[in-house]
Structures are given as C-alpha cells and as structure tokens.
Amino acid sequence: MAHHHASLEFLLSRASTDNLVEPPPKGDQLRDILSAALRAPDHGRMRPWRYTVIKGKHREAFAQVVLEAMDRQEPDAPAAKKAKRRDRFSSMPMIIALGMHIEPDGKIPVIEQEMSVAAGAMNVLNALHAEGFGGIWVTGAFSEDRALLETLGLKEPHRLAGFLFVGTPEKPVEGRKRADVDDYMAIWKGEPVTFGADAG
Ligand SMILES: Cc1cc2nc3c(=O)[nH]c(=O)nc-3n(C[C@H](O)[C@H](O)[C@H](O)COP(=O)(O)O)c2cc1C
C-alpha cells in the first residue's frame, strides 16, 4: 500500500464490531462525535439528522419497545432471533438511533435527505474510531414500526436509518477482508466504462 498520512491510515483501519464493552463515549466527547455527523454533505441545508441516545438503565425498556415492534413487523421471527435482539438492545453499552427528519414536499429529493443521514452515520462511525471507540450499524423491519419511531420523536413522515451499537471494542477489531479497489474504480476515457467487480 502506498504511503499515506495518519488520518487516511485511520480511515482505512476502521471496521465494524458488535463486540463492545463499557465505556461508551459520554458528555462532551459524545457531543463532539455527533458533531462530526453534522459535517455530512446536506443539500439545501435540510439538517435531517436526529440522534437519540439510549444508554444505562433505559436500555432494558427500549429493548422491550424493540420486541413489541418485532411482534408487529416480524411476527414470524424465530424465538432465538427475538431473544438475541432483546439481549443486544439491553446489553450494548450505548445505542444511537439514526433518525431521519424528512421533508417530502420540498425541492430536495427524499433520497438526498436520506443520503445525508447515511453520510452522517458514517462520520459517526469514523469519529468513534478516531476516539478509540467502536460500533456497528444495524437495521431490521422492526425499525419501521410506527410506535417505535414515535418514541424516538419521529412522527410520519420521519423515519429511521437504523441504529448504531456503540462502545469500546473488547479486543482489536480484525475486520473482514476488503475488496480490491481496482475492481471498483475506472478511469473514463470517452467510452463506457466497465468494472472488474462486474466481470464474468
Ligand atoms: C444501512 C445498513 C444496515 C445494516 N444492518 C445490519 C444489520 O442489521 N445487521 C448486521 O449484522 N449488519 C448490518 N449492516 C452491516 C454492518 O453495519 C457492517 O457494515 C458489516 O458488519 C461489515 O462491517 P464493516 O463496516 O467493517 O465492513 C448494515 C449496514 C448498513 C449500511
């Protein structure tokens, strides 16, 4: 790999993990990490990001909200899946709900507002990594449940981009094998490009 600056090295070394222990970021450090999200590109200054932090004793009750949402949205989910989800939502050091405050009738397409929330989430994951924390972005059909959304301050048409599980990595994050960038980039030379990723 070519030589690069420490900040790029750090971007290249981030990997998701749900193997998380105490502590999560708190106070000003948490505010700084979430401030990184507010640097996401945001067409039309829609400011669609709405973060709800769930931690401490409130996790248990929130896990119950998740379970009830699952009962409505995924009634056929196996008991083991429900138990795992309850366990994760009640035991992760911190959960950050990724609210999307969507303005459907304005000039800015909804997908652009959603992409701004996604870009913000990525910045949060990177900011966590920069400060020695770890996380993973998770979703599921339960996150479309209206009652769950309302407890997170998201009334119709506002929605969720999912949740970040946040904490301190229990051990150094290995990360999975990454794709080869050469398969995912092309240099345009006046003819339609093709990608190695799509060959064969
Ligand atoms: C919108 C979104 C939703 C995701 N939902 C889940 C999920 O519900 N469960 C899960 O294990 N991974 C989920 N992932 C994938 C993980 O966040 C993560 O990207 C994956 O474990 C690979 O790790 P990496 O970020 O180091 O590549 C989701 C990713 C995105 C972008």
Pocket of ligand 1 contains residue 140 by CB under 6 Å: yes
Pocket of ligand 1 contains residue 139 by CB under 6 Å: yes
Pocket of ligand 1 contains residue 175 by CB under 6 Å: yes
Burial 125-137 (b: 16+ CB within 10 A, else e): bbbbbeeebbbbb
Q: Which CATH superfamily is domain 6-174 in?
A: NADH Oxidase (3.40.109.10)
pLDDT tens-digit profile, the chain (200 residues): 566 789 999 999 999 999 999 999 999 999 999 999 999 999 999 999 999 999 999 999 999 999 999 999 999 999 999 999 999 999 999 999 999 999 999 999 999 999 999 999 999 999 999 999 999 999 999 999 999 999 999 999 999 999 999 999 999 888 789 999 999 999 999 999 999 999 97
Question: How many Å lie between the centroid of ligand 1 and the Cα of residue 141?
Answer: 14
Torsion of CA 19, 127, 54, 65, to 10 degrees: -70
Domains of the chain by residue range: 6-174
Question: How many Å lie between the centroid of ligand 1 and the Cα of residue 137?
Answer: 5
Structure tokens belonging to residue 137: 């972005």
